[in-house]
């Protein structure tokens, strides 16, 4: 499998090189040159596999340059840290199937890909006798998952920018209480969008990126998206076995568009997904885009689901590549237009195509809390606020005989304030969070300024 950039300036590179390149050197995002197509029989066989074996089969399709034995070991190590034997179990509650993606070390879906990516980076750096400085932006969950995947690894430093005071207290502590010497937490005076823009600008300076061997842990990195494709197949197999259904709907709480884009790839591979339901909070540029073709930038607002307080969704560019008929020049132009005007226009034909690919709903804070409350009253199950956004959209938009799978993207204990407001008590704390408030912390404040972050990197790079 070879990889190409959405902007047409990079092509023919291997999986390993794509993982190390992160952001494509022309500023675009990397995608496989072809998407493998699976038959009904293939999917049937895959749907019977346990998670690690399934991950091996799916990832192998895209990573032909990784020896099989090495890939197997990476997968075993990555999912050996999960506390549930099924890795991503599916539970059935009040008519919806909940795909629990929060049984990894930091209690969010990011662990599924970042445990794997951390081990993959280590393997590639040993193989090439190289060092790496990871630079990432987080609205709360990627940061802690990336730090957990990288801490203690040799020849890698990690620099994570989070928006100061805008993550949940537990999310912040999960990052700042990791005081290993190779971990650098930077609290940016701005929003997640500011932090992500700084990261992309720094990656865009290819000479600097190469000089400091910068690596990407955000869903900029294709390996992130790839590892997330696996659980769509897993959930489909489990739900099909329970219900005998031929198709399923997935409802996906969405911010940076990485998770739902993984579902889109799964569908392009042939997985019978009837509808991909894109659920946002009030930061709803993507829901407006799907529903009305209105892709225009708003101002980031704070919500009970802070990890999705995002306006500029990184992976939208990957979808745009397909919407614009895989024309790199057209994507480059569209991205430049968006930077200049803060909006993009789509033809009626394109809008119709988008509505074939997705349904969408924007769920506000009150509705989110009401969903947590109502679901808890009916089932005793406590949803985290991001999952609640997806459950609300799934209930409103799914229909007919087709089961709906809602992605449970985080454990409720990460968002105690929102849960308390909804159900009047704190969520139960998993053992990994016990005593977290009492641990020593390390974090530095930094302005939302690219040069300041570059200078910090230069001083602290390995
Ligand atoms: C808990 C949680 N749910 C949902 C999302 C949205 O996922 P994505 O950014 O891949 O759209 C995020 C992060 O963005 C998250 O941390
Ligand atoms: N919600 C994310 C935002 C970054 O998304 P990513 O998938 O591109 O890493 C977070 O928790 O940081």
Calculate the average pLDDT of the chain: 97
Model confidence at 249: pLDDT above 90:
yes
Q: Is residue 26 part of a domain?
A: no
Q: Is residue 19 part of a domain?
A: no
Q: Residue 399: which pLDDT band, with cuts at 50, 70 and 90?
A: confident
Q: Is residue 16 part of a domain?
A: no
218 Cα nearest atom in ligand 2? 9
Residues with CB under 6 A from ligand 1: 108, 139-141, 219, 253-259, 307-308, 386, 409-410
228 Cα nearest atom in ligand 1? 10
CA angle 449, 453, 454 (to 5 degrees): 115
The pTM of this model reads: 0.97
Give residue 294's pLDDT.
Answer: 96
- Work out the end-to-end distance of the chain between its first and last CA atoms, rounded to an integer number of angstroms: 31
Q: Is residue 313 part of a domain?
A: yes
Question: Which ligand is nearest the CA of 108, by number?
Answer: 1
State which H helix or E strand residue 169 sits in: helix 169-176
With a CB cutoff of 8 Å and minimum separation 6, the contacts of 419 are: 372, 382, 384, 385, 412, 425, 426, 427
* Catalytic residue check, 166: no
Distance between CA 25 and CA 30 in Å, rounded? 9
Q: How many domains does the chain have?
A: 1
Model confidence at 398: pLDDT above 90:
no
| Ligand 2, pocket-test mutation among 256, 262, 286, 410, most atoms within 8 A of CB | 256
Q: Is residue 447 part of a domain?
A: no
Model confidence at 400: pLDDT above 90:
no
Q: Cα Rg for the chain, rounded, in angstroms? A: 20
Share of the chain above pLDDT 70, in %: 100
Catalytic residue among 72, 110, 153, 200: 110
Q: Is residue 344 part of a domain?
A: yes
Q: Is residue 113 part of a domain?
A: no
Nearest protein Cα to ligand 2, atom 1? 307
Nearest protein Cα to ligand 2, atom 4? 138
Give residue 291's pLDDT.
Answer: 97
Q: And the tokens for 452? A: 């300041």
Collapsing DSSP to helix, strand or coil, 39 comes out as coil
259 Cα nearest atom in ligand 1? 10
CA of 324 to the centre of ligand 2 (A): 25
Give residue 281's pLDDT.
Answer: 98
Averaged pLDDT, 141-159: 95
308 Cα nearest atom in ligand 1? 14
Averaged pLDDT, 418-441: 97
Model confidence at 154: pLDDT above 90:
no
Structural domain for 282, as ranges: 90-107+223-423
Distance between CA 211 and CA 233 in Å, rounded? 39
User: ipTM value of the model?
Assistant: 0.99
Ligand 2 pocket member 403 (CB < 6 A): no
Model confidence at 297: pLDDT above 90:
yes
Question: Which ligand is nearest the CA of 117, by number?
Answer: 2
Nearest protein Cα to ligand 1, atom 15? 307
The CATH code of the domain that includes 400 is: 3.40.50.1100
CA of 198 to the centre of ligand 2 (A): 14
Tens of pLDDT, residue by residue over 157-211, are 999 999 999 999 999 999 999 999 999 999 999 999 999 999 999 999 999 999 9
Distance between CA 231 and CA 310 in Å, rounded? 24
CA of 310 to the centre of ligand 2 (A): 9
Are residues 58 and 45 in contact, defined by beta-carbon separation less than 8 angstroms? no
Averaged pLDDT, 407-433: 97
Q: Is residue 436 part of a domain?
A: no
């Amino acid at each position: 499998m070879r990889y190409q950039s959405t902007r047409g300036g990079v092509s023919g590179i291997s999986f390993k090189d794509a993982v190390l390149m992160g952001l494509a050197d022309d500023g675009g995002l990397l995608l496989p040159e072809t998407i493998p197509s699976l038959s009904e029989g293939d999917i049937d066989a895959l749907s019977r596999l346990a998670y690690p074996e399934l991950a091996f089969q799916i990832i192998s399709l895209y990573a032909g340059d990784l020896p099989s034995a090495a890939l197997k070991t990476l997968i075993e190590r990555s999912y050996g840290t999960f506390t549930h034997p099924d890795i991503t179990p599916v539970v059935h509650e009040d008519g919806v199937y909940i795909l629990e993606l929060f049984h990894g070390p930091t209690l969010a879906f990011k662990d599924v890909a970042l445990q794997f990516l951390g081990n993959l980076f280590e393997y590639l750096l040993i193989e090439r006798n190289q060092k790496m400085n990871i630079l990432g932006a987080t609205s709360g969950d990627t940061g802690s998952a990336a730090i957990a995947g990288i801490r203690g690894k040799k020849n890698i430093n990690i620099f994570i920018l989070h928006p100061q005071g805008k993550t949940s207290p537990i999310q912040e502590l999960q990052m700042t209480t990791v005081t290993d010497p190779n971990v650098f937490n930077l609290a940016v005076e701005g929003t997640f969008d500011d932090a992500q823009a700084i990261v992309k600008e720094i990656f865009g300076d290819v000479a600097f990126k190469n000089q400091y061997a910068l690596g990407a842990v955000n869903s900029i990195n294709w390996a992130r998206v790839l590892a997330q494709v696996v659980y769509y197949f897993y959930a489909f197999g489990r739900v099909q076995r329970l219900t005998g259904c031929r198709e399923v709907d997935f409802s996906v709480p969405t911010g940076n568009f990485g998770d739902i884009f993984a579902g889109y790839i799964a569908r392009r591979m042939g997985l019978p997904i009837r509808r991909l339901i894109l659920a946002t909070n009030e930061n709803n540029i993507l829901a407006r885009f799907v529903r009305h073709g209105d892709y225009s930038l708003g101002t980031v607002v704070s919500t009970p689901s802070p990890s999705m307080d995002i306006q500029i969704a990184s992976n939208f560019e990957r979808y745009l590549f397909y919407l614009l008929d895989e024309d790199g020049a057209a994507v480059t132009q569209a991205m430049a237009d968006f930077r200049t005007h803060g909006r993009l226009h789509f033809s009626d034909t394109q809008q119709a195509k988008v509505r074939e690919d997705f349904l969408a709903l924007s769920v506000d804070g009150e509705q989110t809390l009401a969903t947590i409350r109502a679901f808890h009253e009916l089932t005793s199950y406590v949803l985290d606020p991001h999952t609640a956004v997806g459950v609300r959209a799934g209930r409103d938009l799914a229909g007919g005989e087709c089961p709906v799978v809602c992605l449970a993207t985080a454990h409720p204990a990460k968002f105690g304030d929102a849960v308390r407001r909804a159900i009047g008590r704190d969520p139960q704390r998993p053992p990994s969070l016990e005593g977290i408030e009492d641990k020593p912390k390390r974090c530095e404040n930094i302005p939302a300024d690219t040069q300041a972050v570059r200078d910090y990197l230069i001083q602290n790079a390995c």
